[in-house]
Structure 1
């Protein structure tokens, strides 16, 4: 009899765990992980390419990278891709330990033309692909919060909220969610405007 009661309690606990959003404290843990991973990725890539505590000079950011395996036509974009990859690996590893069913890295979304429901898609045209989404347990289309990682190039730390970024965040807001989409940068952490 006691064994059946324990099994029933475990099933109920499993059901409760499977059907919910993260609470505010858990969301805070996620945001701390995002900040830490973005800062670590920024430092790690810069240190590896330019030396400890050094970065690319601002004047080089729009020039072609002088590396064998170019990921993009400019240093700014090349470094962004490298830093995103390192940050994503860190985020995947750390969030999978705590919230394996409540986050997705680079999901691609679109709205259904008729119902306007948010759907996952593999179509590029007309879709959006935020960097990190926390969502209802095991349901990536029930969005809780959207985060986009931004890495500056060079030493200059300007305002990351340029016109393109504001437009991007507005488009992410159109996907819904419980909080405003946020940028995550090495300098400013999680930033919502």
Structure 2
């Protein structure tokens, strides 16, 4: 039922815009009461962000599965393949959603907040990869790598929106991360 409500909401967001879609509209289209909607989602924004915490866990698992001897920057780049696989499987829907997140200030702020959670989920593995203990909060290397990689992901995503998806997102991530780390050919 939660997935059905999310699908109805996404359709309405696409048709009317996020700000112009009310919880009452979503609930009505989904055939439920407003109270039932709030049993599934705490806010209208949660419809969009419900899966972002899961993405963070997916990224952490993907990073842990990378070869131990791989450069941490390269490992972070390859970890983002878990995101690009999802986005490129439904490119039009992904572009619409990403554009909505980018153009709606409250959604953009909430997305950034969720990405901070991803950073915390990726940090222990990157700390291990740079040879620091997972509890060593004084070592800035892991935070610098993770936050820079996420900034590159954001820059690539903005470029992907700007070109309307004509340049593949993975190529844009390679380009962004290649500007700060190993040449893109070495990111593979």
TM-score above 0.5: no
Structure 1 or 2, whichever has the larger Rg, is 1
Which structure features the higher share of helix residues? 2
Which structure features the higher share of strand residues? 1
TM-score of the superposition, structure 1-length normalised? 0.30
